[in-house]
Structures are given as C-alpha cells and as structure tokens.
Structure 1
Amino acid sequence: MGCDGGTIPKRHELVKGPKKVEKVDKNAELAAKWKYCALSQERLKRPIVACELGRLYNKDAIIEYLLDKSAERPNTEVVTHIRGVKDVKELNLTDNPAWEGERRNIKGDCYEDMHCTMFICPVVGLEMNGKHRFYYLRTCGCVFSDRALKEVKTEICHKCGDPFKEDDLVVLNGSKEDVEKLQKDLEERRSKAKSAKKSKKSKGAKALKPDDAKGTSDLQKSSFESKPALNVESTNEKPTDAALSGPSGESSKAIKTPAEPATGSKRSIQDMTDKSEIYKSLFTSHSTAKRTKDQLSNWVTHTPYHF
C-alpha cells in the first residue's frame, strides 16, 4: 500500500529515529530569571522583592497573590512557601548607568545587548544578568556580587553600613543544589521559631501558680463583699440594720465612711467646697436658677425644668 501516484518515500519518512533533545537558549533562560517576575512573568520593576529561596518577584504580584490565593495563576508552585509579606524582603538595588531602557530599540533596527541589565553591583560594577553570582542580605536587602564579598571581606554592609553575618546571605537565582539548601535552612528556622513560641507560652502558663490564683480570688471576694457597705454609706437614705450587718454578724459601724467619698457616689454640686460659686451657678440646682411662685405661670413653661 502507499506510493500511489509514483511517489518514492525516503528513509526518514519510514524509519523513526531517536528524538532530538531540545536545547534551551541560555540567554533566554537567564533573561527569564533575572529580568522577569517569577510569579506573574512580567518585567521586573521597582519595588522588587526576593523570597528566602532567592527568587525575584514584583511586589505588586506578591501582594495580589496573598490577597487572593484562590485565583488561577500560571506559576503558583513557586510561591507556596510564602505565607505573608514578612516572608519576602524588598531589595535595595543599584541602578546601572549604562541602561538606556526599552525605548532605545523600539524600531528593532539596532543591536540590543541581552547582557545589559538595569542593576549592577555597587562595589565592583558587575551587571546583574545571571553570568555572575549575586547575594542579598536578609537584614537590609542590599544586593552584592560574589566577587565583591570575596575581595572586600567585612561584616558590615558595603552600601548602608548595617552589620550582618554569613547566615544572612541568600543567593539570588541559584542552582538546584542552592535552592535545596535554602529550602532546608528555611524549614529549620521555621521549626525553631515554632518550638520557641510553644516554650514561651508554656512558661507563661507556669508563671501563674495555684497559690497566686487563690490569693487573687480571695482579694476579689473581699473587694466584692466590701462594695455594698460603701454604696450604702454614699446614699442619702437611712440604711437598715440588715444592710449594715456584715457576713460575720458584726455591725458595719466599725467600717464607716472612709476618708474620701467613694467614686460613683451621688452628691450635690452645691455641697462641694472645692468648687467656686461661679462654677456652681452654671447648674440648675443653684439658688439663682430657681424662680419664685410669682414668676411661674400655670400655662407656660419657661424652661423644661420644674422646681
């Protein structure tokens, strides 16, 4: 069958050989990592943040993801370890003076250098294009190349002057081995923080002993029992013998009026000696506010107050 019309098949049409392995363009792969957001696949633009695994993101894309995690996105597996804004660090990047932007080659009639990027190392001037190894600091977010950290060994940030340790260095867009190591360190830090939080909570619970709890309950009970006696003294009505007698049957005359009146007691402002006469005249209980019977009318109410 086949070969109708005088066609002569060739060997590659009849015999299937091994499939060719597709080669990935290294320049395109580096540009995807260092020039585009790992989550939204859009061009990186300030503010730029990095996670604890060294991936680069636009801060707007991370905030949108945290606000609505149920929305469908193409690369959600790269941000599963991000629980909140505290899990990312905003980077303090240094601009590249040789970067002209995207508008310089709008027509596409000139050569475009794929290795020229927006940011460089502030110490040695290497471009952050993926050909050189770069780190960022967890403490301040400044970004430096590996060569700068090796040539100028210090425990103080070259850009902002904040102190840092070797554990604070996180490699940006590292290899598979680097990502696995960072993932392991991240899990260890989170487990330590969780255990420290649990121990702190247990120490707080042990601080309240049973004797202290009993003492507080007795104090609350005594203050509750002494409250009715103070309320009875503060009122103008004559208290009965039953109200004056305490739980032990003794008369409350022994604990009569304290040196200062209790808070919340009803007392006329006119009887207060520490208030001036001008202040007392502002109230309707003052003698100047009261009117005689001749000033009153049977059918007109001058004020809403009746005396």
Structure 2
Amino acid sequence: LLSAGASVNIYMFHGGTNFGFTNGANHDHAYEPIVTSYDYDAALTESGDPSPKYHAFREVIARHAPVPDEPAPAPSRKLPPTAVELTRRVSLLAHASVLAKPVRVDADPVTMEELGLRAGYALYRTTVPVSGDGVLRFAGGVGDRAQVFVDGAPVGVLERERHEEALPVRLPRAGATLDVLVENMGGVNYGPRIGSRKGLLGPVTFDGTALHGWDCHPLAMDADAMDADADADADAVGSVPFASAQSPAESPVDAGPAFHHGTFEVRTPADTFLSLPGWTKGQAWINGFHLGRYWNRGPQRTLYVPAPVLRPGTNELVLLELQATTEPRVHLTDTPDLGPVKP
C-alpha cells in the first residue's frame, strides 16, 4: 500500500481505557460486555508506552517515507511493585440505604431507567409471604446480572448472557427478606438492542405467587449521587458506608457484596497496574477515581492506574467486591496483564 502511494489508517494507534462505567457491550449471538481495558494491542499501549507494534510500524514506514531522526518515546516511569492490605469491610446489603434512599413500589419492581439510573446497580428488596422450596421466576429476565439473597445469604445468580429467568430457592420462613442486586454491565453499542432496559424487567413470582411491595435502591456508585442522597461527605466512593458502619472492622474475607478499604503510601506518583488475584467480581476506586470493573472470568487481569490518579503520601483504595475474595490483599504492579490477544 505504501509503495503504491495509498493512504493507510492505523486502528487503533493509541489504546485507551473504559474507566468507570463507560464500557459498552457487543451483541452478536449473545450479550457480551466489553472489558475495562481498551488497550486493543495498539501501537501505543493503554498507558502510552510504545509497543512492539509501534516499532514495527516505524520500521516499515521508514522504507517508504521520511521518519523523525529522534528516537522512539521511552515508556513511562512505573510505580515500584506494592502490596495493599484492605483492612476494613462494610456490607453493601446492610448499608444500601446510606448510598441511596429506596424508592417504594407497591406492585412489580421497576427498571433501572424508571429509577433514573444510567449506570451502576439497583438493589431490589421485598419480603416473601410464604416459605418452603420453590422457584423464583423473573419474567423477561434481568439486565444484566442479578445476585439473589434470602435473609442476607446468597442463593444464586442470573445472567442475561445465559438467558436465565428462573432460580430454585428455599425460603426458611414466611416473611423472609428477598434481595436482588442487579448490575448494569454495559449498554449494547450498535444495532436494534441499543437502549435495552436494565434491572428487573418484569414481575417476580415464587411458585406462582406474585411478589409485590419492593424497596428499590438506585445505586449509581458515583460521588455526586451519594452526596445527593446522604448527609455526608462523599469525596471518595465508599466513604459514606464506611463512615456510617457501626463495625468498621468486619471480617474482610466474609462472602457477599461489600466495600473493602485500604491505604498505601506513594513517594512519587507514576503509572501502575492494579492486580487482584483471588478477587471475584466488582469495581475499583483509587482516591475516589473510578478505575472500572474487574472480573476473574477474564481475560483482563489488571486495571490501569494513571499516575495523576495518585498523590504523594497516603492513597486510598476501595473495592466493591460482589462475591468473595480468598485474601484481603491486592498488588500494584509495573506490568499489565490483559490476557491473550484475540485473533
């Protein structure tokens, strides 16, 4: 192409990051949320470093056109590897009302859109008037992933990508509390499914008994939303539930959705990558900046932390872990791990 004098478009030249909740989703044969990283195996990596592809492009282009005499840019300086202990844990289910005042719905649950929620999570809570073994049915399914709890104990997960709408459960007593935590995992980017609804998408029944009277918590998980909903400082995500918790030293390895908090020291800020071995699924914030989501399903294993997110001295890390971790520790590394390159 270059020999013929044709134009060449490089896609992508500089990789990027879907920070926060900005990732979208594909939907070819099934719903497929996009990972947090948008490194894309680009010539310049997610952190701006020249990749082997950059040098290959430069070598080929130099055969056909002038290139600058100066050397290629050097990789950015990286933070020394650091372990971070997360010593405080606060349950999400127990403190949901601190993050968002519930919206009371007397009949069937409403969608996230009806709650005014663009991204994040919605917690739906009701009581079940019967007991025994039976099947919970979610008419229309869920958008996009729902964790189900009975009296605070996890009983199952429903996922949109698997077209799941029913879950067998045991209700220990009449009047048991049913919690359904639904995650919006990203809107479809193209085609007829743009604008697909999120949350609980229809009536919920237990063995044919309609479950009504829902408290719906719109959990935006951003500082502005928390500050609007609670009389507390929300400069950093997670500060509201930590400030209100009666026992900030809850066991950090208990299962269930929870905020985990830790601090680490930085002498001079530099780029780094957050590695979460042993953690399952959730969101990460450093100094109130929402890095994005992680999932041990992969392929991505680290989250990019840009140097400007850090500050000299003490830095705060908050994780919202939706399930459980094998140990309350994470690592800041100098090398990204984005999994295998997709052919």
Which TM bucket (shorter chain)? under 0.3
Larger-gyration structure (1/2):
1
Structure with the bigger percentage of strand: 2
Structure with the bigger percentage of helix: 1
Normalised TM-score (structure 1): 0.20
Normalised TM-score (structure 2): 0.18
Ranked by relative contact order (alpha carbons within 8 Å, sequence separation 6 or more), the top structure is 2
